[in-house]
Chains A and B, each alone.
Chain A
């Protein structure tokens, strides 16, 4: 009787163990299957999102007859470089690229500096009207430059800046996003760090320069990436602020290729590919900071 019981107990316990093991295996299988499902979904999504790039890249390496032929060649063999040659030697593309990089670089440098200073004042200096200024910045944060082209254009031409680099560089400095972000970053620093520095005899500028800036370096890089990409992509203001070919930026020049000189699909595809090279390289190098662009939105809340 006792032995039977013992045996039953043992059977039950091996049985439970077996069931538990089964469960674990089943769970693992389920997990693997779910992971596989996720990869399938993501592969499909990314394929859809990326396919257009490949299609245009393909077109850029085809001559005009190949572009129009059906079924399309899926590999660019042999590659045709005539489109790129035409783009680089017969259009102002290199000049546009230089203008874009120069303007975006200037705006980024200036703005990172000005915005971090403004953010410091908004976060750390007790001054009258600070709250009201901050509120005004939040309210006007979303007003786009496209809705302001009439007063902006007349202002810039009244200042005699039309067709100068300054016309492209100054108006983007107004955007308050950077100052708001920098304020947030600086408020996120350990409390009392600035007070410790004040007791150590640092001036406000020294606190900003020697303590705050080194500590918000990651934030500065994120801000620089945000400003640079926004500038790289900006279109309407450069479009109306400049009429001289020498000052055209990439987006304006590429749009002009489309607007003038007939349907030159080969040239268009080459310009699309070449336009994406600098930002693509930056993105590859600074992936994390780029993705933080999205997070900047979350941070704003």
Chain B
């Protein structure tokens, strides 16, 4: 070996490889194992929590959805029967319907409202921080507390809404009646979430290239035209992201429905997660249905997540 090196001593000529392939492979593997172990020391603790309390429960939902019985013990395998019987099971279909209607009502109102507020707030020259503080404040209210507050707004006798109506000479309204409760719940959600998305849009609007707007103004584009042909197209991805995420959040509504209306009147505001909770803890033989309907929700959320990842894939791919 040294001979080979010696032969190449002339004028900056390198020698040949001196370790055997097998030796290289061994050392290579050793270095690599060391690197992988380092990586797992960093990732491991969080990843363990992720697997135990998220991945396994998601898989567990599939397993539970094939069982019949109670969560407190004594279940048996029933195959796909839970799914087949789910549409006829008490309360299952209204829960899905209520949840969808809730999302369809609240999401557009939240996003249109938020976009409107953001367009104004992004251009305000003085005092923007005060408005931001106030607009954002409802976002920090826990659902339970928000519902409690809305009990004071919607009360027939002394609620703020009816006080206002009475002030203008109208008749008091039953806000939490069977026909209107779900809508009120959706409006509550608008009140609670509009600030979140407004701030999100403000950040996006402030980040838009200012030169484009100056150019458009020189071209004589009106405020509306600028919104229609500049802001909206430029915010397309942002708005799309907001639609998906706020829909996913809308599908999870539970605490406000529990505290404001107890899921009622009847089942008027019983949502999917509310129903899951009732199946598990309000009955002794419906844990399978609870899991089946949970699985429907999980699949819907995963589908929305994947659609979003797919449609926004360009940026993601670049890290």
Direct touching of A and B (C-beta under 8 Å)? yes
Which residues of A come within 8 Å of B, CB atoms?
34-35, 38-39, 41-42, 45-46, 49-53, 55-56, 59, 67-72, 114-115, 117-118, 120-122, 125-128, 130, 133, 136-144, 146-155, 170-171, 173-176, 178-179, 187, 204-205, 208, 229, 232-233, 235-236, 240, 250-252, 254-255, 258-259, 265, 268-269, 271-272, 275-276, 279-280, 283-284, 287, 290-291, 293-295, 297-298, 301
Q: Decide: B135 and A175 in contact? CB cutoff 8 A.
A: no
* Complex Cα spacing A208 to B38, Å: 12
User: What 1/0 flags go to B190-228 for Cβ under 8 Å of A?
Assistant: 010011110110011000000000000000000000000
Closest A residue by C-beta to B49: A173
Q: Decide: A118 and B43 in contact? CB cutoff 8 A.
A: yes
* Interface assignment of B233: CB less than 8 Å from any CB of chain A: no
Task: Across the A-B interface, give the 7 residue pairs with the lowest CB-CB distance, nearest first.
Answer: A151-B60, A127-B39, A174-B53, A121-B42, A118-B46, A294-B199, A121-B43
Count of chain A to chain B residue pairs whose CB atoms are closer than 8 Å in the complex: 299
* Complex Cα spacing A39 to B121, Å: 9
Q: Decide: B125 and A265 in contact? CB cutoff 8 A.
A: no
Interface size on B, residues (CB 8 A): 104
Q: Decide: B305 and A297 in contact? CB cutoff 8 A.
A: no
Q: Decide: A287 and B306 in contact? CB cutoff 8 A.
A: no
Chain A residues whose CB sits within 8 angstroms of the CB of B294 once the complex forms:
147-150
Closest A residue by C-beta to B67: A150
Q: Decide: B145 and A272 in contact? CB cutoff 8 A.
A: yes
Chain A contact residues: helix, strand, loop or mixed: helix
Chain B residues whose CB sits within 8 angstroms of the CB of A154 once the complex forms:
60, 64, 71
Q: Decide: B123 and A137 in contact? CB cutoff 8 A.
A: no
Given A147-B294, A150-B287, residue A55 in contact with residue B153 (CB < 8 A): yes
Chain A residues whose CB sits within 8 angstroms of the CB of B262 once the complex forms:
259
A and B contact pairs by CB, cutoff 8 A, 10 listed? A38-B120, A55-B153, A137-B50, A142-B304, A150-B290, A151-B57, A251-B144, A254-B142, A255-B144, A269-B148
A9 to chain B, nearest CB (A): 28
* Interface assignment of B319: CB less than 8 Å from any CB of chain A: yes
* Complex Cα spacing A70 to B161, Å: 13
Closest A residue by C-beta to B162: A70
Q: Decide: B153 and A236 in contact? CB cutoff 8 A.
A: no
Q: Which of A125, A187, A279 contacts B35 (CB 8 A)?
A: A125
* Interface assignment of B117: CB less than 8 Å from any CB of chain A: yes
* Complex Cα spacing A70 to B135, Å: 29
A298 to chain B, nearest CB (A): 6
* Complex Cα spacing A205 to B160, Å: 57
Closest A residue by C-beta to B248: A142
Chain B residues whose CB sits within 8 angstroms of the CB of A291 once the complex forms:
132, 136, 199
Chain B residues whose CB sits within 8 angstroms of the CB of A171 once the complex forms:
53
Chain A residues whose CB sits within 8 angstroms of the CB of B147 once the complex forms:
258
Given A53-B149, A55-B152, A255-B259, residue A295 in contact with residue B160 (CB < 8 A): no
* Complex Cα spacing A238 to B181, Å: 26
Q: Decide: B52 and A174 in contact? CB cutoff 8 A.
A: yes
Chain A residues whose CB sits within 8 angstroms of the CB of B135 once the complex forms:
42, 45-46, 49
Comparing B15-23, B85-93, B272-280, the segment that makes contact with chain A is B272-280
Q: Decide: B238 and A298 in contact? CB cutoff 8 A.
A: yes
Chain A residues whose CB sits within 8 angstroms of the CB of B142 once the complex forms:
232-233, 235, 250-251, 254, 275
* Interface assignment of B163: CB less than 8 Å from any CB of chain A: yes
